[in-house]
Amino acid sequence: MATIVSQSISDVDMEILRYRIYDVNNEHNPADLWISGSLHGKINNAYKAMKNIWVPVLMDDANTSAISASKEEFVGQVTSHPYYQTRWHAEASSSLRSW
């Protein structure tokens, strides 16, 4: 399953973006390429952070016999771990603790 992300940009804002962003294949909407690149960059950044944090956690977990080298399987191992929290849940629980 894939998640579709959509955002509207006003005509004025698109003109501003077209002033600074270039896509040889899309004169009228160069922001599409830029957004795609930004999103892939953020995903790669988050995946590296996930690996840096979770490989040691999984290695120290007696219930983990192997850590997958497959991106999909590794993310599955992490997200099914009892200590796993999304950023939203981590922020929500930390704000509740400050009460």
Question: Residue 13 — very low, low, confident or very high, per pLDDT cuts 50/70/90?
Answer: very high
User: Is residue 21 a part of any domain in this protein?
Assistant: yes
Question: Residue 97 — very low, low, confident or very high, per pLDDT cuts 50/70/90?
Answer: low
How is residue 98 annotated by DSSP? T
For residue range 77-91, what is the model confidence (pLDDT) as tens digits?
999 999 999 999 999
Q: Where are the beta strands (DSSP E) in the chain?
A: none
The answer to whether the CB of 46 falls within 8 A of the CB of 54 is no
User: Is residue 31 a part of any domain in this protein?
Assistant: yes
What's the domain range around 81? 11-97
User: Is residue 49 a part of any domain in this protein?
Assistant: yes
**Residue 99: per-residue pLDDT:** 44
The answer to whether the CB of 48 falls within 8 A of the CB of 40 is no
User: Is residue 26 a part of any domain in this protein?
Assistant: yes
User: Is residue 5 a part of any domain in this protein?
Assistant: no
User: Is residue 3 a part of any domain in this protein?
Assistant: no
Domain count, the chain: 1
User: Is residue 65 a part of any domain in this protein?
Assistant: yes
Whole-angstrom distance, CA of residue 27 vs CA of residue 34: 13
**Residue 93: per-residue pLDDT:** 86
- Token reading at 40: 């892939």
pTM to 2 decimals? 0.81
For residue range 26-71, what is the model confidence (pLDDT) as tens digits?
999 999 999 999 999 999 999 999 999 999 999 999 999 999 999 9
DSSP string, 64-85: -----SSHHHHHHHHHTSTT--
User: Is residue 4 a part of any domain in this protein?
Assistant: no
**Residue 5: per-residue pLDDT:** 87
Whole-angstrom distance, CA of residue 47 vs CA of residue 54: 10
Residue 96 has pLDDT above 80, yes or no: no
